[in-house]
A = this chain, B = another copy of it.
């Protein structure tokens, strides 16, 4: 099979945005395998999205191209960039979205995308700027220019792990920006004043009980067996989580 291009956006799937992006990718990199990773990543919020992306992107094999567009500043002054981190490629806006991917990588470099044609719309860089760049990477055209200086546009004030909810899935499970492997084995989490113990998975706790567990991509996730954690606990993207020893 050809290279994988994984999409991480807030574009949704039913409207016109993702379909146009995929059309550009198919035309630029025929034979690439395109998969939807997230189409409902935190809308217009690069900071929680950055922790979600770092947990999920590294699941893909080396050589994968990740097109990541959470881009409230589209059409404004923010740069467009390519990042290479541990042999995976990332394309998207320079707004912090790749901060955790870069920080956690053994090796990371970045390039600004400068070849903006006049055909680039002011509001849809996902289609007009990022997708062509991702397609070129997928077909093997690597950046010709030298990478940017180390430290360009970094968000070094952001924490290594984010003690907040970064994503609510369709079942109402709430992912945090905390890597479970870095938490004490017996750690409890406080969310909305409720103290939650760790479990292995849903079927290990009684129905209706709230708990936290290490999800299948390594994040600490808050859930309720046979229920919705978001509604039960009154939590949403951005809600704080405290770690209790």
Contacts and interface: CB of A to CB of B under 8 A. Distances in A.
A227 to B, nearest CB: 11
A80 to B, nearest CB: 14
Interface in A48-99: 56, 59-61, 72-76
Interface in A188-243: 200-204, 213, 215-217, 226
Interface stretch (A26-34, A100-108, A145-153, A154-162): A26-34
Given A13-B36, A26-B35, A123 B20 contact: no
Interface in A1-30: 1, 4, 6-7, 11-20, 22-23, 26-27, 30
B14 A26 contact: no
Contact of A35 (B19, B30, B44, B217): B19
Give how many copies assemble into the complex: 3
Q: Give the residue among A16, A19, A38 with the most B Cβ atoms within 10 A.
A: A16
Contacts of A43: 171
A76 B203 contact: yes
Nearest to A200: B122
30 contacts: A4-B26, A7-B19, A11-B170, A12-B170, A14-B36, A14-B39, A14-B40, A14-B170, A15-B40, A15-B170, A16-B37, A16-B38, A16-B169, A18-B36, A19-B37, A19-B38, A20-B37, A20-B59, A23-B33, A26-B35, A72-B202, A72-B226, A73-B203, A75-B200, A75-B204, A76-B201, A121-B215, A122-B216, A123-B213, A124-B215
